[in-house]
Amino acid sequence: MLNQSASLDLLFQALADPSRRAMVGRLSRGPASVSELAKPLSMSLPAVVQHLQVLEASGLVRSAKVGRVRTCRIEPKALRTAEDWIAERRTSWERRLDRLGEYLAEHPDEPNPASKP
């Protein structure tokens, strides 16, 4: 298993491409075959398969072949991992702002603590 940091590298890398985001967007509405994924994208099937491999390596998508059709599904846990990483940093910043606002409300005449080193 990959460590947390390497997983996040692959997750964000996978999401950094518009075609792969389009594939994730399509799969968020339900499972799809590789050719269904390829249909709205103006690229060759091998190019789509390559993007799919990046998505699978990141854990965002899983696929299984039944007969001649490979069906792809989204892996919501992986989306959640990336989302949570961002949300934790954003809320950490917002809590800091809240504390600063409270401090300033309670100490209107003192210098701003944020300006100290």
Q: Is 30 in the site for its own copies (CB under 8 A)?
A: yes
Instruction: Decide if residue 79 touches its own copies (CB under 8 A).
Output: yes
Examine residue 39 and tell whether it contacts its own copies (CB under 8 A).
Answer: no
Amino acid (one-letter) located at 64: A
Closest approach of its own copies to the CB of residue 88, in Å: 8
Number of residues lying near its own copies (CB under 8 A): 35
Q: Which stretch binds its own copies (CB under 8 A): 40-48, 49-57, 81-89, 102-110?
A: 81-89
**36 token code pair:** 């269904």
Q: Letter for the amino acid at 6?
A: A
Nearest CA to 59 out of 75, 80, 81 is that of 75
Q: 33 has which bridge partners?
A: 71
> Using an 8 Å Cβ cutoff, are 8 and 81 in contact?
yes
Residue from 43, 45, 94, 103 touching its own copies (CB under 8 A): that is: 94
Site for its own copies in 41-70 (CB under 8 A): none
Is 40 among the residues that bind its own copies (CB under 8 A)? Answer: no
The dihedral built from the CA positions of residue 10, 12, 18 and 21, taken in this order, carries a sign that is positive
CB of 19: closest distance to its own copies in angstroms?
Answer: 10
Calpha distance 70→32 (Å, rounded): 8
